[in-house]
Amino acid sequence: MRVTKQREIILEQLKTHKDHPSADIIYDEVRGVLSNISLGTVYRNLEWLVAKNLAQKINIGCSKARFDADISMHAHFRCIKCDAVEDVDAVFGFDLIKDKDWMQERLLKGASLEFYGICGSCLAKEGADETC
């Protein structure tokens, strides 16, 4: 199978996610279609998509890198209990930086904003008696 076809399938699979999967989740899902593909190849394809600005890699406090087909600048929320990563509807961008001279001297390419805490479903499981 052509490499471009592999990447297409991997990108399409990533686009079905709103939960920012890690490479091994995508690997599990595309194995059926892309027989003989390895986790390493899936990872390299995801990295390629990131380099081409077709996907973004989220390196927040999770143990594994997470991927997002939504390349717009947006904030994320990470659950410190279950590692769930959700989009946050927040307005943020380079205008958060107050020093405009500092910005002029640099070429900014992106930004990330991470909120963290306990997600709704973990909160529901824990009950109200947990203190964090």
CB of 68 to Zn ion, least distance (A): 4
Helices (H), 81-132: 100-104, 120-126
Q: Compute φ and ψ for 32, nearest 5 degrees.
A: -60, -40
Judged by CB, which is closer to Zn ion: 32, or 127? 127
CB of 12 to Zn ion, least distance (A): 17
Judged by CB, which is closer to Zn ion: 29, or 68? 68
Residues that bind Zn ion (CB under 5 A): 68, 79, 81-82, 84, 87, 119, 122
CB of 99 to Zn ion, least distance (A): 27
Alpha-carbon distance of 49 to 98, in angstroms, equals: 32
List of residues 6+ apart from 25 with CB closer than 8 A = 17
